[in-house]
Amino acid sequence: MTTRKHLDWAKANPAKVGDPRPCVDCGRPALLRDPDTGKPRHKTCAEKAL
């Protein structure tokens, strides 16, 4: 398994966009949904968690 610095939510694993919801990581409103969990999450927050 390779280590990736950036998630590619736009191409390989598209993230859905919805109404602003508190990000599971930082708590601030996030439009993106984590493609893996379906929960609101900023792309930048998900990348930090890698």
Backbone angles phi, psi at 18, to 5 degrees: -145, -160
Q: Which segments of 1-50 does DSSP mark as H helices, in order? A: 43-48
25 binds Zn ion (CB under 5 A): yes
Window 4 to 23, contacts with Zn ion (CB under 5 A): 23
Q: What is the dihedral of CA 22, 24, 17, 31, to 10 degrees?
A: 40
Distance in Å, CB of 12 to Zn ion, minimum? 21
Answer for which of 26, 29, 37, 48 binds Zn ion (CB under 5 A) is 26
What residue ranges bind Zn ion (CB under 5 A)?
23, 25-26, 42, 45
